[in-house]
A and B are shown apart, each in its own frame.
Chain A
Amino acid sequence: MEEASPASKFAYTFIVLFVVWLFFTASLDPQELAMGAIMSLVVAALTYDVFTKAGLRNLHPKRVAYAIAYIPYFLWAMIMANLDVAYRVLHPARPIRPGIVKCKTVLNSDTGKLALANSITLTPGTITLDVDGDEYFIHWIWVPDEVLRAKEESEHVEHASEAITKPFEKFLRVIFE
């Protein structure tokens, strides 16, 4: 994925900043809008180079649609995660079997990896410990049997990725690649 032109990056940064401004002021008064536009232009001019690499390509309709579809999917995963936590905390026997496992991802972009790491942290029983290249090191509160019994490294990685990263990748690959 080659980098977008500075104009495209600047436009994308400005749009994101302006939408954030709209949310924060929560008003459509022309004065507020003008001030928000000016401030967004200034901040976008200062920061567009570090803010994004893909520029306006991020606003491709298919990506936006997948991003919107991802929100309820992610919230559902989060609610399941919290029920999981509730079960482990309230259960008298405290059913935990923690360990650090290794996963591989197919995502290439840094933003995609960040989104995947965040998603992993907020979903049932997993928290991202470190990311190195395409390898994720994940602290899992209940390492399942098939991962635990895997003799070979590749088998271990395959089972762990199946359970942890695969469910999100099908969304994140479209949104960020």
Chain B
Amino acid sequence: MSVLAAIGEILVLIGTFFYFLSALGLIRMPDVYNRMQTSTKSATLGSLGVIVGTGIWAVGKGHSLAWIVQTIAVAGFLLLTNPISAHALIRAAYKRGIPLWHGSVVDKYAEHLAGKTEANKTSEEETPEAEGVSA
């Protein structure tokens, strides 16, 4: 049983290491987009490690088997929802007009949005004309 406890302890240690990397990434990265990159990934795997590690450790210490089942359920929900919140945050940041880092090399999304507003404009301009023709 102590083998399980040892595995759990190692998993928690790995998880906290990734938490640390996530916090360090927040400090070191230059803009909001790169910060989201580092913090999302490391925080997700760090949480998985800590949560599942806790479950395994508890089973190794003689608690009921429900610990590991429930921690895996929580880890699964975390894995499904964390990237969505990251996506919502980064998209909101872009829509709010927060600029990319000056070292960024390519921005296809700006081109896409510009193309879209242009298409909207032309369609708006065309509608009255078309009405005029039909009248």
Distance, CA A117 to CA B91, complexed state (A): 13
Minimum CB–CB distance from B31 to chain A (whole Å) comes to 8
Task: Closest A residue to B44 by CB, please name it.
Answer: A122
Q: Total interface residues on B, using CB and 8 Å? A: 48
Cβ of B130 under 8 Å from chain A: no
Cβ of A99 under 8 Å from chain B: yes
Distance, CA A134 to CA B73, complexed state (A): 31
> Is the beta-carbon distance between B109 and A82 smaller than 8 angstroms?
no
> Is the beta-carbon distance between A81 and B41 smaller than 8 angstroms?
yes
User: Interface size for chain A: under 10, 10 to 19, 20 to 34, or 35 or more residues?
Assistant: 35 or more
Distance, CA A135 to CA B115, complexed state (A): 14
Distance, CA A147 to CA B105, complexed state (A): 11
Known: A26-B65, A27-B66, A117-B83. A99 touches B104 (CB 8 A): yes
Minimum CB–CB distance from B98 to chain A (whole Å) comes to 12
Interface residues of B in 16-33 (CB under 8 A from A): 18, 21-22, 24-25, 28-31, 33
> Is the beta-carbon distance between B69 and A130 smaller than 8 angstroms?
no
B residues less than 8 Å from A97 (CB atoms) = 103, 105
- Which of A1-9, A52-60, A83-91 lies at the interface? A83-91
Minimum CB–CB distance from B84 to chain A (whole Å) comes to 7
Known: A79-B45, A98-B103. A128 touches B33 (CB 8 A): no
Distance, CA A76 to CA B37, complexed state (A): 18
Known: A94-B28, A132-B112, A137-B109. A127 touches B21 (CB 8 A): no
> Is the beta-carbon distance between A89 and B38 smaller than 8 angstroms?
yes
> Is the beta-carbon distance between A137 and B108 smaller than 8 angstroms?
yes
Using A23-B73, A130-B94 as known contacts, list a sample of 11 further A-B pairs with CB atoms less than 8 Å apart, ordered by residue number in A. A81-B45, A85-B38, A94-B29, A96-B34, A98-B34, A99-B107, A117-B83, A127-B33, A127-B90, A139-B36, A141-B34
Chain A residues in contact with chain B, CB under 8 A? Answer: 20, 23-27, 78-79, 81-82, 85-86, 88-90, 94, 96-102, 117-118, 121-122, 125-130, 132, 135, 137, 139, 141, 143, 147-148, 156
Closest 5 CB pairs of A and B: A26-B66, A121-B83, A99-B106, A23-B73, A26-B69
